[in-house]
Amino acid sequence: MKNTYEKVKLSYNQVLLLIIVLRLILGLTYMPVVHVSKGNQDTWIILLLSIIYKIIFNFPLIYLSNKFNNFNLLEFADKIMGKFLGTIITMFYTIIFLLANILFVTIFVEVLDVALFPLTPTWFNTVLAFITCAYISYKGLNGLCRFGETVVPIIIGGTFFLVLLGVNNFDFSELLPILSDSSFKDLNLGAMNTSFRFADILILVMITPKLTNKKDLNKIFINSTIYSILMVTILIVATQITLGVEYTKHANFPFLIYTRTISIGEIYGFDSLYIGIWIMGNIMKISAYLYFSTIALEKLTRKNNQVFIIPVSIILIILTIFIKDREPILPIAGRLNAIIQILSIIAIIIVPSIMLIVYYFRRKRLRNT
Amino acid sequence: MVSKDIKVNKEKILTCFHYTSDLTTYEFESNYGIKMLICYIEGFIDRKILNDDILKPLVLGLKDREKIRQLIFSPKIEEEILFENIVDELSHGKLAIFVDGEEKAYLVEISSWEKRSIEQPGAEAVVRGPKEGFIEDIAVNKVLLRRIIRSNNLVFENYKLGQQSKKAVSIAYVKGVVNEDVLEEVRRRLSKINIDAILESGNIEELIEDKPMGLFSTISNAEKPDVVAAKILEGRVAIFTDGTPHVLIVPKLFIEGLQTSEDYYIRPHYASVLRFLRTLSLFISIFLPGIFIALQLYHQEMIPTTLLISAAGAREGVPLPAVLEVFIMIIALELTKESGLRLPKSIGMTVSIVGALILGQAAVQAGIVSGLTVIVVSIAAIAEFTIPDLANALVIARIVIIVLAGFAGIYGITIGFIIMAVHTLSLESFGVAYGWPIAPRDWEGLRKDTFTRAPIWKMVFRPKVLQNYNYRRQVPPRKK
Amino acid sequence: MKRKILTTILATIIFLTGCWDARELNELGISLVIGFDIEDDKVLITAEIINPVYSSEEAKGDQIQSVEYVQGIGNTILEASRDITLKFDRRLFISHNKVVIFGEEFAKRGLVKNIDQLLREREHRETAKVLIAKGAKAYEVMGISSGVEQIPANYIAEIVNNIKYNPKTGDVNFIQFLKHYYHEGRHPVAGVVEKKSKDEINKVGNDGSDKDYELTTLGMAVFKGDKLVGYLNGNDTKSVNFILNKIRGGIITFPTPSENQEAENLRDFSSTVIIENKTKRDVEIIDNKVILKAKINLKTSMGEIIGDVDVSNTENIKKMEDACSKAIEEGISLAVKRVQEEFKVDIFGFGVEFHKKYPDKWKEIRDDWDQIFSEAEFQINVNTKIIRTGLINTPLFKIKVK
């Protein structure tokens, strides 16, 4: 079993599409911005504001990654902070990856159980999902990114096709009156909240050394942010103006309900079609996080990363079944909202800021590397 | 070592060949008293040339042992000392001449044997385009190729593979266009083959390919010289094998399965429609039975209401679960296909009638399968026949998708699709990415020759992935 | 070695387990219409299930009923539908429901609170139409099929779909109902279905008492919050559809404006066929009084003229347009007045317009909006344009000059 991590060369398009789909799927699934923030019909403003906040908050990571563009996040953590602190940071990020993985898998399995298969036990769906993700992790970044390059345009195209089909039911007057029911402060809080939720910047800085053209990093970051948030905005707006702002808040998975209202003549079941597309995006996301958690483990223990794929998968399967078989996930996600926020803030803002400051002081020593 | 005494030589040759009955040894004497021995294998030799050009001058005029070369009329005479090589060459159809008193043997090339005539290959029929196909004789095959590429840059290199079969294998490429890395790799892998017999190019294919357990094959084969010529002019390497008309061509890209040679000889718009149809039939053939099962079992809400009611009505009398029904139909389909191949032509008509009757009306009326299942499986089968290149993988993929659909509905189909897609896109054929131009995306390749066929005067560059340099193929005549 | 373990696990998973969710087609009881009632203070569900043998090839000649009816009782909808499983051999499958009929009593109790199950489970389609059985129970209305369709549910569904030919009916599905319910300053409406006896000449065959009745969906049901308060008649429904901008087709009939005003001409009517309609609602505050406004732009084509008007002449066309506009204005004013006086609920959505235009003031008056609505003045402005006149120019009974 060769280690496929070393010889991989990725192009701009591949990484761009990968990051876009990682962000799109979260926004698509349960639209946290609708439930958590206080914007009623101004949710689109929240999303557009979050572009700015995202660029601001992710600045330390991008800056560091630009300076060390031949190393991924864990490697330059080692370089800047020294061996001991670097190992602690690596362990921290491993746990972040694993937690993110569990969160996504539980939501994935919950949607499947609710929307498609009410009687199937949890372990069946989970095991099938992890078999696929383990297989993709074996194939490494090459397999994942090539698959993404082929399939992500289909995902995006399919989703927008579904939006187009529902044009008859659109009623843009739902979005008026602007800015009257929520204050500007509320909107800003909501925007900051949203920009923490997308933790996919970590994946981007782990992929950096594999890019063929290192200068693309900034372009990828800004382009993926703008594109993905624009797409999520269009989807949320479409859902809100078809279903009504209030009903969207009542629904667990708003876009799914939106797809249930569209029809072509006699054919009605577009939610199953949408689920097929959505499964592909979600599997890509879970595989990406699984793969990078094994890379992080590889760095800690210096063994080949493919050794870790099956044990980590089995642990995650057991944990998922443990959590899912006891409680439905969305109330938990609501309860753990604070913990998720804090962890994201630490992982994306605080730790990189500390590294940035240390880098600033040690710049002269590190200039030779 | 050849000895001076021809009787000893005769004994030795006969012992080496274990006294086989088709080895002919003939001792004779020339008019001037020199004794000679000729050995050859029956059936390899042209009798007329043997009599007229070899025996006659030798018998009539051999005075001096040294002067054999001036008497025999043949463009290729070799001298050989070692017995192993003489035995080897005798098996390849040469005539060995031993002269009493000389310590060497003369090997003369006068072989001719029965071969099939050149005719249209059965598996690759075209409406427009040359209808010649390769035959089993490698020399004739090489000539067929050289008649198309009459350039001095066309190079053949010979190998002999297999210890018992000692098959003549040649690789062909166009120097200056070929990808040197691929060529080096081909040479390396061929030289590593160490097996007792190569019977067909399929054996070579399995021994040198990248992922033998993969779903799709990474080496393509062709039976027509114009196909091989087009492919090696894009930078590929062809491998000829003696004894089989199928020529291997490396490296292979996935989209080549969707292309036929006829696409390039007919008008581009029509060729684009046909390409599109073939891409569609790829998906139909793999996914249609699975989608049919998934919709019936799990997602009945996607079926339009009137269709659902008539489908439910049709299922009332049927005893089997849906998955088993489709399996029975597929097994029956494969049985028909296989028996159709193996039958003698005289009973062919009966089988097609019997098959149509059994699989069609009677099964539906007896209540074993429902009519809709028969239609779906037949469409999938017809779609499979439009792309014969990928057909081997399609059948397996189809069955896997049916099993997955039966257990997990559209979730299973999506998972199956993901695993197959990731597997296919990470294959590499001799260092070249298999999924090009779809996965390592190349817009030039996608627009010109994948799902549509651009006119010839627009295809200015060769596929970039197959070359190290030398991309430009033409200067278009229609510059604006 | 790893591969062997993986394959064995996989194989055992696949072969040891069954398929939990797979439902063969012959286990389903496909129902196309459902009715809900209140019976002895409990919920009664009536489902109309297709008999699939009816549509299979062998049974085409025999007299098999095309549908079966089954009922269940429980405290809530879910309990009632599970009650059916002990009486009927197929599992109820409601994904193909096109229409849901609520009995009048059920609607009076409060709709939104009790239909939680229909929206929480995945099987029910949210685009099913909501109909209230007028003055009857739901199961009395189901089972009547007097159209060409064999299955009664299709008959009902197609009648409801005919709103594009005649806007005197309400076409509301669950999503729209909920949207109207959630909007502040607005109350929802729903469609109506009523069983009427056929009083024309009984030319249809005499087999069974069901053929003497027919269903009609004329009218609309008015809700306050989620409780039913009353019904509107056909003309008022048309006006409400106009204001709500839900007109997709239909005709306007008005008295022909001809020059000679004799008594005969009072019986002459003309009709125009609606091609396209755009309505704009508006609210204004003048001198602390709220004025509700609606502006309608209509594009029509000439349907029929009974009377002495020659429409090849643009003046006459203008006269027709004015007459049409006047008829519409009168009808709509009447309808709004009736809603204001009889029901006192704002079903038109003027509250939403107020909220958009004066968001600060809305915060003050949002609780009294219904009262303010019923006292507000209503102004309407209709602009009709006749853009086609058909194949004939002068009326048939006039003889053109030779």
Provide the pLDDT confidence category of residue C14 given band limits of 50, 70 and 90.
low
Are B290 and B422 in a shared domain? yes
Residue B262 lies inside a defined structural domain of this protein: no
Are B302 and B383 in a shared domain? yes
Q: Cβ A147–B414 below 8 Å, yes or no? A: no
Are B81 and B185 in a shared domain? no
Residue B1 lies inside a defined structural domain of this protein: no
pLDDT at residue A5 greater than cutoff 70: no
Nearest CA in chain C to A257: C126
pLDDT, tens digit, for every residue of A328-354?
A: 766 666 667 777 778 888 888 888 888
| Identity at C57, one-letter amino acid code | E
pLDDT, tens digit, for every residue of C19-62?
A: 677 788 878 888 888 888 888 888 899 988 888 776 655 545 55
Higher pLDDT, A272 or C239: C239
The domain of B207 spans 138-252
pLDDT at residue C279 greater than cutoff 80: yes
Q: Cβ C30–B298 below 8 Å, yes or no? A: no
Provide the pLDDT confidence category of residue B114 given band limits of 50, 70 and 90.
confident
Nearest to A266 among B305, B435, B441 (CB): B305
Nearest to C53 among B301, B308, B316 (CB): B316
Three-class DSSP labels, chain B: CCCCCHHHHHHHHHHHCCCCCCEEEEEEECCCCCEEEEEEECCCECHHHHHHHHHHHHHHHCCCHHHHHHCCCCCCEEEECCHHHHHHHHHCCCEEEEECCCCCEEEECCECCCCCCCCCCCCCCCCCCCCCCCCCCHHHHHHHHHHHCCCCCEEEEEEEECCCCCEEEEEEEECCCCCHHHHHHHHHHHHCCCCCCCCCHHHHHHHHCCCCCCCCCCCEEECCHHHHHHHHCCCCEEEEECCCCCEEEECCCHHHHHCCHHHHCCCHHHHHHHHHHHHHHHHHHHHHHHHHHHHHHCCHHHCCHHHHHHHHHHCCCCCCCHHHHHHHHHHHHHHHHHHHHHCCHHHHHHHHHHHHHHHHHHHHHHCCCCHHHHHHHHHHHHHHHCCHHHHHHHHHHHHHHHHHHHHHHHHHHHHHHHHHHHHHHCCEECCEECCCCCCCCCHHHHHHHCCCCCCHHHCCECCHHHCCCCCECCCCCCCC
Q: Cβ B296–C56 below 8 Å, yes or no? A: no
Q: What is the CA radius of gyration of chain B?
A: 30
Which residues of chain C are within 8 Å of residue A180 when distances are taken between CB atoms? 355, 359-360
Are B231 and B314 in a shared domain? no
Higher pLDDT, A164 or B305: A164
Which residues of chain A are within 8 Å of residue B440 when distances are taken between CB atoms? 11, 146, 149
Are B246 and B280 in a shared domain? no
Residue B25 lies inside a defined structural domain of this protein: yes
Nearest CA in chain A to B434: A146
Which residues of chain A are within 8 Å of residue C127 when distances are taken between CB atoms? 260-261, 263, 268
pLDDT at residue C17 greater than cutoff 60: no
Which residues of chain B are within 8 Å of residue C126 when distances are taken between CB atoms? none
pLDDT, tens digit, for every residue of A230-242?
A: 998 888 888 888 8
Which residues of chain C are within 8 Å of residue B317 when distances are taken between CB atoms? 56, 58
Are B243 and B285 in a shared domain? no
Q: Chain B contact for C95, CB < 8 A?
A: yes
Determine contact, residues C199/C223, Cβ cutoff 8 Å: no
Q: What is the pLDDT of residue C200?
A: 57
Q: Chain C contact for A121, CB < 8 A?
A: yes
Which residues of chain B are within 8 Å of residue C30 when distances are taken between CB atoms? 305, 308-309, 312
Higher pLDDT, C337 or C6: C337
pLDDT, tens digit, for every residue of B72-106?
A: 877 888 888 888 888 888 888 888 888 888 788 88
Distance of CA A360 to the CA centre of its chain: 30
Which residues of chain A are within 8 Å of residue C14 when distances are taken between CB atoms? none
Report the C-alpha gap between C73 and C55 in whole angstroms. 30
> What domain count does chain B have?
3
Are B274 and B414 in a shared domain? yes
Determine contact, residues C105/C37, Cβ cutoff 8 Å: yes
Residue B467 lies inside a defined structural domain of this protein: no
Nearest to B407 among C19, C57, C95 (CB): C19
Q: Cβ A247–C355 below 8 Å, yes or no? A: no
C184 CA: distance to closest CA in chain A (Å)? 10
* ipTM score: 0.89
For the segment B331-346, the average pLDDT, to the nearest whole number, is 80
Report the C-alpha gap between B403 and B390 in whole angstroms. 20
**What domains does chain C contain, in order, with CATH numbers?**
26-232 (no CATH), 234-402 (3.30.300.210)
Q: Cβ C179–A117 below 8 Å, yes or no? A: no
Please report, rounded to a whole number, the percentage of residues in chain A having pLDDT higher than 90: 2
Q: Chain C contact for B410, CB < 8 A?
A: no
Report the C-alpha gap between B76 and B108 in whole angstroms. 6
Hey, what are B251's tokens?
Answer: 């490296």
A278 CB-near residues (< 8 Å, 6+ apart) = A25, A28, A29, A111, A155
Which residues of chain C are within 8 Å of residue A181 when distances are taken between CB atoms? 359
Which of B296, B303, B400, B414 is best to mutate for the A interface (most A CBs within 10 A)?
A: B414
Q: What is the pLDDT of residue C60?
A: 53
Q: What is the pLDDT of residue B470?
A: 64
Q: Cβ C179–A131 below 8 Å, yes or no? A: no
Are B58 and B198 in a shared domain? no
Nearest CA in chain C to A307: C2
Residues 234-253 of chain A whose Cβ lies under 8 A from any Cβ of chain C: 242-247
Residue C269's DSSP bridge partners are C255
pLDDT at residue A4 greater than cutoff 50: no
Q: What is the pLDDT of residue A1?
A: 35
Residues 51-70 of chain C whose Cβ lies under 8 A from any Cβ of chain B: 52-58
Residue B316 lies inside a defined structural domain of this protein: yes
Residue B367 lies inside a defined structural domain of this protein: yes
- Judged by DSSP in three states, C330 sits in helix
Q: What is the pLDDT of residue C259?
A: 64
Q: What is the pLDDT of residue A3?
A: 44
Are B183 and B320 in a shared domain? no
H or E stretch at C109: helix C104-109
What burial class does residue B76 get, using C-beta atoms within 10 Å of its C-beta: 0-12 exposed, 13-18 middle, 19+ buried?
A: exposed
Neighbours of C20 (CB within 10 A): 12
Neighbour subunits, B (≥3 Cβ pairs < 8 A): A, C
Q: Chain B contact for C96, CB < 8 A?
A: yes
Report the C-alpha gap between A72 and A208 in whole angstroms. 6
The dihedral formed by the CA atoms of B31, B35, B39 and B45, expressed in degrees to the nearest 10: -10
pLDDT at residue B354 greater than cutoff 90: no
Tell me which of B384, B399, B429 is where a domain ends.
Answer: B429
pLDDT at residue A297 greater than cutoff 60: yes
Token look-up 């009459």 returns B150
Are B213 and B277 in a shared domain? no
Q: Cβ A118–C21 below 8 Å, yes or no? A: yes
Which of C23, C127, C281 is best to mutate for the A interface (most A CBs within 10 A)?
A: C127
Are B396 and B325 in a shared domain? yes
Mean pLDDT of chain B: 84
Are B200 and B275 in a shared domain? no
Q: Cβ C22–B406 below 8 Å, yes or no? A: yes
Residue B475 lies inside a defined structural domain of this protein: no
Residues 18-37 of chain C whose Cβ lies under 8 A from any Cβ of chain B: 19, 21-26, 28, 30, 32
Which residues of chain B are within 8 Å of residue A136 when distances are taken between CB atoms? 418, 422
pLDDT, tens digit, for every residue of B221-267?
A: 898 899 999 888 888 899 999 888 999 998 888 888 888 888 888 88
**What domains does chain A contain, in order, with CATH numbers?**
12-366 (1.20.1740.10)
Which of C14, C27, C55 is best to mutate for the B interface (most B CBs within 10 A)?
A: C55
Q: What is the pLDDT of residue B285?
A: 92
Which of A178, A258, A268 is best to mutate for the C interface (most C CBs within 10 A)?
A: A268
Q: What is the pLDDT of residue B418?
A: 93
Please report, rounded to a whole number, the percentage of residues in chain B having pLDDT higher than 90: 11
Which residues of chain A are within 8 Å of residue B303 when distances are taken between CB atoms? 269
Report the C-alpha gap between B165 and B161 in whole angstroms. 7
Among C235, C81, C213, C91, CA closest to C152: C213
Nearest CA in chain B to A278: B414
For the segment B307-312, the average pLDDT, to the nearest whole number, is 83
Residue B125 lies inside a defined structural domain of this protein: no
Provide the pLDDT confidence category of residue A58 given band limits of 50, 70 and 90.
confident
pLDDT at residue B67 greater than cutoff 70: yes
Mean pLDDT of chain C: 81
- Judged by DSSP in three states, A199 sits in coil
String of DSSP letters for C166-178: --SB---BHHHHH
Q: Chain C contact for A265, CB < 8 A?
A: no
Which residues of chain B are within 8 Å of residue C93 when distances are taken between CB atoms? 300
